[in-house]
Every structure is written in structure tokens, then in C-alpha cells.
Structure 1
Amino acid sequence: MAIVEVSVVPIGTEDTSLSKYVAGCHKILANEDNIDYQLTAMGTIIEGELDDILEIIKKIHKLPFDNGAKRVYTNIKIDDRRDKKANIQQKIRSVKSKL
């Protein structure tokens, strides 16, 4: 299972606020059954099979274009660990246990 952080930034919009685009992306995520996700202040973390996540990222990358953006910058970080199972909460617990 992969854990991916994604941030989609529309450029060339009439407003500097991005929250409506983020909300639109999260509506797409809410309709996906095969992932878990978590909104953060600077992006979204998605957990699931990598192929599924990449297909979903294509959808959320396209959304700002569909809503008038002239350019979209999408940043993706992938943690694809194969030696043991990992998930969002486990990663957080691991760090907190060391504090």
C-alpha cells in the first residue's frame, strides 16, 4: 500500500483563494471507495494502491482546468513501502512514540 501526499495548485485564476478548488478535489476523493485520505493545511494525504491513487490524482489535477484555471501545478510525494504494511496513522504513531 502506498501513502501519497498531493497538492494541486491552480494558477491563472481570478482569485488568490484556493479553498474552492481543494473542496472540489475532496468531493472527488469522497466518491472513491478504494482509498483513505486526510486533508492537511498544505495538501492531502492519500492511502491505497498506487495505481488507484495515480488514477485519482489525474482526476483532481484536471479539476481546476475544468473550473477555469489556465495552469495547474501538482506536487506529488510517494511513500511506497514494501517491506511491511504502513498507513497514515501508523506513521504518525511511530513519530509520536519517539517524542
Structure 2
Amino acid sequence: MRVSVDLCLVPLGVGVSLGPSIALCQEVIKASGLEHQLGPDGTAIEGEWDDVFTCVKACHARLHQEGVQRIHSTLRVNTRIDRVQSFRDKVGSVNRLMP
């Protein structure tokens, strides 16, 4: 089953700047080969269900490997079975409706 998620990953106890941890997670996501798009408050990832959730797990594992003791993540999960629609398609359909 195809899925798109919006992953917001917050490492706790690493100070105010989350950038270094997010950059590590982006390396993991890029290496997965999944379609993704970094945003200001999360990352959109899409692909097959197991691949996407394996990627989310790998992000957690990588940060723990780097010494992050605790991570709080929120996921918004979207599936549909009537047609295939990427996150880029969704954004494009809204943009076409705007003047």
C-alpha cells in the first residue's frame, strides 16, 4: 500500500538548534531512495508503507546512534486506494486553482 507521511522529528535534550539532527535524518531519508521534501516544520515522505516506516525507524536509530537520548516524533499518515497521487501532485492541484 502506498502512503505519504509528514514526519516531524524533535530530538530532546540537544539544545535549541535542531538543524544538525534534522540534517542527519535527511541523510537517512535520502539514502532510502524514497520521494521526500523537506519543509519548515517537517518532511514529506512517500512510498510503500513498509519502506516509509522502515525509513522513519532508521531516522530514530541514526539519532540514537549519535547520542540523542530521546526523540519525539509526530506523523500524519495519508493513504488512498482510488488513485495514485504524489505530494507534488497534491500541491500542483491546489496551485492550479489559485488565480
Match of 1:52 in 2: 51
| 1-structure distance, mates of 2:41, 2:16 | 15
- The 5-angstrom pairing of residues 1-99 of structure 1 reads 1-13=2-14, 15-33=15-33, 35-99=34-98
The TM-score with structure 2 as length reference comes to 0.90
1:71 CA drift (Å): 1.2
Task: Report SS of the residue matched to 2:67.
Answer: coil
1:97 CA drift (Å): 1.9
Q: Which structure 2 segments of 5+ residues have no match?
A: none
Task: Report SS of the residue matched to 2:32.
Answer: coil
Count of residues in Structure 1 that have an aligned counterpart in Structure 2: 97
User: Deviation digits for residues 28-68 of structure 1, max 9, x if unmatched?
Assistant: 112113x1111001110001111110011001022222222
Percent identity, please.
28
| 1-structure distance, mates of 2:29, 2:51 | 11
Task: Report SS of the residue matched to 1:83.
Answer: coil
1:84 CA drift (Å): 0.7
The TM-score with structure 1 as length reference comes to 0.90
Dislocated runs of 4+, deviation >6 Å: none
Task: Report SS of the residue matched to 1:31.
Answer: helix
Tell me the amino acid that sits aligned with residue 37 of structure 2: Q
RMSD: 1.1
